[in-house]
Amino acid sequence: MVVTFNLQSSAPKPNPMSASKERPKKIKDKTLPSSAFQKTSNIQEWFNTLCRGEFKEYCKAVRAKQYRRSPAHLTCEAMDLEPLKGRYEDVICYDQSRVVLKREFGKVDPDDKDFIHANWIITPGTRTKYILCQGPLENTIPDMWEMMFQERVSIIVMVCQCVEDGLQKCEKYWPETNETYGYYKVENLGDVKSKWLKDMHEVEVRELSITAPNNVRHKLLHMVITNIGDHLASQDPNHLCKLSIFAKKYAYDKNGPIATHCSAGIGRSGLFAAIQYVYEGMMTSDSTDPMQLVKEMRACRKNCLQTYLQYACLNMCLANLFIRKKLIRNGEEYKTLLKKYNVYFNVFMNAAKQKKKATKRFEKSLDIEDGNKENEDTKKESTSTSKVGGEKQLQKPRVLSKKTMAEQTARKSGSTYLNRLQN
């Protein structure tokens, strides 16, 4: 399937300008109202604060209490009624912003309700709409496709892999060729090829079609970003910006929302949605604080955008977008900022690697422990017998497997998502 898609601006390239001259003319964004470009001094003020302050301290705002408090009126009653449809017990789906399944063609299971773990995030005053959802579980795949068809989603952005470091993060919910999920037939139309996407590394884009029982067909794109680990961010903000622009432009042309998910649907996918939400929010308001806009997102999807690194990446993506629009300069300040980000990124990556090594050591210790127990059990089985009906029967003691031990440990510590975040 070949899709032609061109995001390059038709505006002529500006001539090189010295720092003493006027700022280049702003390039307008048709997805924003014209009033967004009337006043942009707040953007320069934000950039100055970002460049001149301590980068690490600036990024700590993502965990500040004033940005994490939930409005008192928000509830999650629908989620509480469907505990088996949530991947993590501490990842909340607010009633006030959730996607409500209309069950237009009936229920696959008579006990099905209208719940799916997904929330709307809509930028005020623009046409950009996001649906943030968790990575589908096996029992929620039909709901996923019902939502895609019902809301006429234009593109799904998957910011994870199905299995990461041996852990199941998301079920494979799309077909290799074609498959029926509940009432919906989904067909894989093949990989998308375009001049713009050919240089995009570690990303897969395919076109899918959904056919409902009434034979109405809806096509959409499925983009998988594979180079961002759990709780982490992109090493190349420019690359992530391009993907964000692609998704936004495609959704604008198709007049449909963007659905994005990772595993929990708040961290990596929250970062992806925040890039355009905060960019548009700063363009259409006087805000100089990206976290105020992230706080708005969190009132729709709780704990959206999680770690220091993700917030650092968000700020770098914002700078990249504003440079593209000629609102700030791609000068020494930005280059210095990019160096700081790379250092910060490497610190987090090294910490993640150490964490993986520690996990492997723990798993290895369980293997050794299991092996020792098996040897002991073999000895016991050879000596421990009992008479039942005049015949000798082996008495096999119960040995916990690694999986059982892990499950018991998880129950004791609380099998949640947020308590595994990096500090």
Catalytic positions, please? Answer: 262
Of 268, 265, 247, 246, residue with least CA distance to 257: 247
Residue 277: both structure tokens together: 């939400």
Q: Using CA atoms, how far apart are residues 117 and 135, in angstroms rounded to an integer? A: 9
Terminal Cα distance for the chain, rounded: 44
What is the chain's Cα-based Rg? 25
Q: Cα(2)–Cα(190) distance, rounded to whole angstroms?
A: 9
Q: How far apart are CA 244 and CA 317, in angstroms?
A: 10
Encode the chain in three state secondary structure. CECCCCCCCCCCCCCCCCCCCCCCCCCCCCCCCHHHHCCCHHHHHHHHHHHHCCHHHHHHHHHCHHHCCCCCCCCCHHHHCCHHHCCCCCCCCCCCCECCCCCCCCCCCCCCCCCCCEEEEECCCCCCEEEEECCCCHHHHHHHHHHHHHCCCCEEEECCCCEECCEECCCCCCCCCEEEECCEEEEEEEECECCCCCCCCCEEEEEEEEECCCCCEEEEEEEEECCCCCCCCCCCHHHHHHHHHHHHHHHHHHCCCEEEECCCCCCHHHHHHHHHHHHHHHHCCCCCCHHHHHHHHHCCCCCCCCCHHHHHHHHHHHHHHHHHCCCCCCCHHHHHHHHHHHHHHHHHHHHHHHHHHHHHHHHHHHHHHHHHHHHHHHHHHHHCEEEECCEEEECCCCCCCHHHHHHHHHHHHCCCCHHHCCC
Question: Residue 283 burial by CB count (10 A; 0-12/13-18/19+): exposed, middle or buried?
Answer: buried
List beta partners, residue 394: 385
